[in-house]
Amino acid sequence: QCLIEAFVPEVVTPYLRNVVAAELGCAPYEIWSTDEGNARFNTRLRRTLFVGMSDGSRIDVLRRANPKRVSQEQVLPMLNVDDEKWVDLNKSLQEEQPGEKFDSVYLIDDFTASGTTFIRQKEGAWKGKLAKFNDLVDKARGRLGDDFPLKGGYALHIHHYISSQKAHETLMDRLKV
Protein backbone atom coordinates (compact mmCIF):
# COMPACT_ATOMS: atom_id res chain seq x y z
CA GLN A 1 0.00 0.00 0.00
CA CYS A 2 2.80 2.44 0.89
CA LEU A 3 4.64 1.74 -2.39
CA ILE A 4 1.48 2.43 -4.38
CA GLU A 5 0.71 5.61 -2.48
CA ALA A 6 4.28 6.89 -2.91
CA PHE A 7 4.42 6.23 -6.67
CA VAL A 8 2.94 9.50 -7.97
CA PRO A 9 4.64 11.88 -5.51
CA GLU A 10 8.01 10.06 -5.51
CA VAL A 11 8.31 8.83 -9.12
CA VAL A 12 5.92 10.69 -11.42
CA THR A 13 6.12 14.16 -9.86
CA PRO A 14 9.94 14.48 -10.01
CA TYR A 15 9.97 13.39 -13.66
CA LEU A 16 7.26 15.86 -14.66
CA ARG A 17 8.82 18.61 -12.56
CA ASN A 18 12.08 18.17 -14.48
CA VAL A 19 10.26 18.21 -17.85
CA VAL A 20 8.40 21.40 -16.99
CA ALA A 21 11.54 23.05 -15.59
CA ALA A 22 13.36 22.32 -18.86
CA GLU A 23 10.48 23.88 -20.81
CA LEU A 24 10.51 26.99 -18.62
CA GLY A 25 14.29 27.24 -18.34
CA CYS A 26 14.29 27.20 -14.56
CA ALA A 27 15.34 24.91 -11.73
CA PRO A 28 12.89 22.10 -10.92
CA TYR A 29 12.16 23.48 -7.45
CA GLU A 30 11.10 26.80 -9.01
CA ILE A 31 8.22 25.57 -11.16
CA TRP A 32 5.59 25.96 -8.47
CA SER A 33 6.65 29.53 -7.71
CA THR A 34 4.66 30.86 -10.68
CA ASP A 35 1.13 30.35 -11.96
CA GLU A 36 2.55 29.34 -15.34
CA GLY A 37 4.78 26.66 -13.83
CA ASN A 38 1.94 25.28 -11.76
CA ALA A 39 -0.40 25.25 -14.77
CA ARG A 40 2.17 23.53 -16.99
CA PHE A 41 2.83 20.88 -14.37
CA ASN A 42 -0.90 20.13 -14.03
CA THR A 43 -1.26 20.03 -17.82
CA ARG A 44 1.62 17.56 -18.11
CA LEU A 45 0.21 15.41 -15.32
CA ARG A 46 -3.16 15.26 -17.10
CA ARG A 47 -1.36 14.13 -20.29
CA THR A 48 0.13 11.16 -18.41
CA LEU A 49 -1.50 7.76 -18.90
CA PHE A 50 -1.22 5.02 -16.28
CA VAL A 51 -1.58 1.41 -17.45
CA GLY A 52 -1.89 -1.53 -15.09
CA MET A 53 -0.03 -4.53 -16.49
CA SER A 54 -1.69 -7.03 -14.14
CA ASP A 55 -4.11 -7.10 -11.24
CA GLY A 56 -1.06 -6.79 -8.98
CA SER A 57 -0.51 -3.23 -10.19
CA ARG A 58 -3.43 -2.20 -7.97
CA ILE A 59 -4.14 0.68 -10.32
CA ASP A 60 -7.46 1.25 -8.51
CA VAL A 61 -5.58 1.97 -5.30
CA LEU A 62 -3.16 4.24 -7.15
CA ARG A 63 -6.01 6.33 -8.54
CA ARG A 64 -7.78 6.56 -5.19
CA ALA A 65 -4.53 7.47 -3.41
CA ASN A 66 -4.14 10.46 -5.74
CA PRO A 67 -7.48 12.29 -5.83
CA LYS A 68 -7.43 15.52 -7.82
CA ARG A 69 -4.08 14.41 -9.31
CA VAL A 70 -5.01 11.29 -11.28
CA SER A 71 -8.45 10.90 -12.82
CA GLN A 72 -10.29 7.84 -14.10
CA GLU A 73 -9.86 9.28 -17.61
CA GLN A 74 -6.10 8.70 -17.52
CA VAL A 75 -6.05 5.19 -16.11
CA LEU A 76 -6.21 1.85 -17.92
CA PRO A 77 -6.70 -0.89 -15.34
CA MET A 78 -5.46 -3.64 -17.64
CA LEU A 79 -3.44 -4.22 -20.77
CA ASN A 80 -6.36 -5.36 -22.92
CA VAL A 81 -7.82 -2.12 -24.28
CA ASP A 82 -10.57 -2.00 -26.88
CA ASP A 83 -11.05 0.77 -29.45
CA GLU A 84 -13.99 2.24 -27.58
CA LYS A 85 -11.82 2.86 -24.49
CA TRP A 86 -9.03 4.44 -26.58
CA VAL A 87 -11.60 6.77 -28.18
CA ASP A 88 -13.09 7.63 -24.77
CA LEU A 89 -9.64 8.47 -23.39
CA ASN A 90 -8.98 10.72 -26.38
CA LYS A 91 -12.37 12.43 -26.14
CA SER A 92 -11.94 13.13 -22.43
CA LEU A 93 -8.47 14.59 -22.93
CA GLN A 94 -9.66 16.69 -25.89
CA GLU A 95 -12.44 18.19 -23.77
CA GLU A 96 -9.87 19.39 -21.23
CA GLN A 97 -6.90 20.05 -23.50
CA PRO A 98 -8.00 20.47 -27.13
CA GLY A 99 -5.44 19.28 -29.67
CA GLU A 100 -3.34 17.41 -27.09
CA LYS A 101 -2.48 13.73 -26.71
CA PHE A 102 -0.99 11.70 -23.88
CA ASP A 103 2.76 12.27 -24.03
CA SER A 104 3.84 10.07 -21.09
CA VAL A 105 2.79 6.49 -20.38
CA TYR A 106 3.58 4.53 -17.23
CA LEU A 107 3.33 0.75 -17.49
CA ILE A 108 2.87 -0.40 -13.90
CA ASP A 109 3.26 -3.86 -12.44
CA ASP A 110 3.66 -5.21 -8.96
CA PHE A 111 6.80 -7.32 -9.03
CA THR A 112 9.51 -8.65 -11.29
CA ALA A 113 12.05 -11.23 -10.25
CA SER A 114 13.69 -12.18 -13.52
CA GLY A 115 12.51 -9.54 -16.01
CA THR A 116 11.65 -12.20 -18.57
CA THR A 117 7.88 -11.86 -18.21
CA PHE A 118 8.15 -8.24 -19.26
CA ILE A 119 10.35 -8.66 -22.32
CA ARG A 120 12.13 -11.58 -23.92
CA GLN A 121 12.97 -12.99 -27.32
CA LYS A 122 11.66 -16.30 -28.53
CA GLU A 123 12.67 -17.64 -31.92
CA GLY A 124 13.78 -14.15 -32.99
CA ALA A 125 10.51 -12.46 -32.03
CA TRP A 126 9.96 -10.15 -29.06
CA LYS A 127 7.53 -11.51 -26.48
CA GLY A 128 6.25 -10.40 -23.09
CA LYS A 129 4.13 -7.60 -21.70
CA LEU A 130 6.11 -4.79 -23.32
CA ALA A 131 5.86 -6.37 -26.78
CA LYS A 132 2.15 -6.96 -26.23
CA PHE A 133 1.62 -3.32 -25.27
CA ASN A 134 3.60 -2.13 -28.29
CA ASP A 135 1.55 -4.32 -30.64
CA LEU A 136 -1.67 -3.14 -29.03
CA VAL A 137 -0.68 0.51 -29.50
CA ASP A 138 0.48 0.05 -33.11
CA LYS A 139 -2.71 -1.74 -34.15
CA ALA A 140 -5.04 0.67 -32.36
CA ARG A 141 -3.20 3.69 -33.79
CA GLY A 142 -3.63 2.22 -37.27
CA ARG A 143 -7.36 1.61 -36.80
CA LEU A 144 -8.22 4.85 -35.00
CA GLY A 145 -5.98 7.46 -36.63
CA ASP A 146 -6.64 10.89 -35.08
CA ASP A 147 -8.95 9.39 -32.45
CA PHE A 148 -6.02 7.52 -30.92
CA PRO A 149 -4.98 9.27 -27.67
CA LEU A 150 -1.20 8.65 -27.57
CA LYS A 151 1.18 11.14 -29.10
CA GLY A 152 3.75 9.79 -31.53
CA GLY A 153 7.07 9.50 -29.69
CA TYR A 154 5.46 9.48 -26.24
CA ALA A 155 7.73 8.89 -23.24
CA LEU A 156 7.36 5.32 -21.98
CA HIS A 157 8.10 4.56 -18.35
CA ILE A 158 8.24 1.07 -16.87
CA HIS A 159 7.55 0.83 -13.16
CA HIS A 160 7.52 -2.19 -10.89
CA TYR A 161 6.72 -1.56 -7.24
CA ILE A 162 9.31 -4.22 -6.34
CA SER A 163 12.12 -5.58 -8.48
CA SER A 164 15.11 -7.81 -7.95
CA GLN A 165 18.51 -6.55 -9.03
CA LYS A 166 18.68 -9.37 -11.59
CA ALA A 167 15.36 -8.29 -13.11
CA HIS A 168 16.54 -4.69 -13.33
CA GLU A 169 19.75 -5.71 -15.08
CA THR A 170 17.87 -8.03 -17.46
CA LEU A 171 15.33 -5.34 -18.39
CA MET A 172 18.00 -2.69 -18.92
CA ASP A 173 20.04 -5.05 -21.08
CA ARG A 174 17.07 -6.06 -23.22
CA LEU A 175 15.83 -2.52 -23.65
CA LYS A 176 19.17 -1.49 -25.18
CA VAL A 177 18.51 -3.61 -28.28
pLDDT digits (tens, 9 = 90+) for 95-140: 999 999 999 999 998 866 666 677 778 888 888 888 899 999 999 9
DSSP 149: -
User: What whole-number distance in Å separates Cα of residue 102 and Cα of residue 96?
Assistant: 12
CA angle 103, 74, 144 (to 5 degrees): 65
pLDDT digits (tens, 9 = 90+) for 138-151: 999 999 999 999 99
Tell me the β-bridge partners of 158.
107
Q: Kind of pairing, strands 150-163 and 102-112?
A: parallel
pLDDT higher than threshold 60 for residue 177: no
Task: Give the distance, in angstroms, between the CA of residue 151 and the centroid of all CA atoms in the same chain.
Answer: 12
Do residues 62 and 4 lie in contact, with contact meaning Cβ atoms separated by under 8 Å?
yes
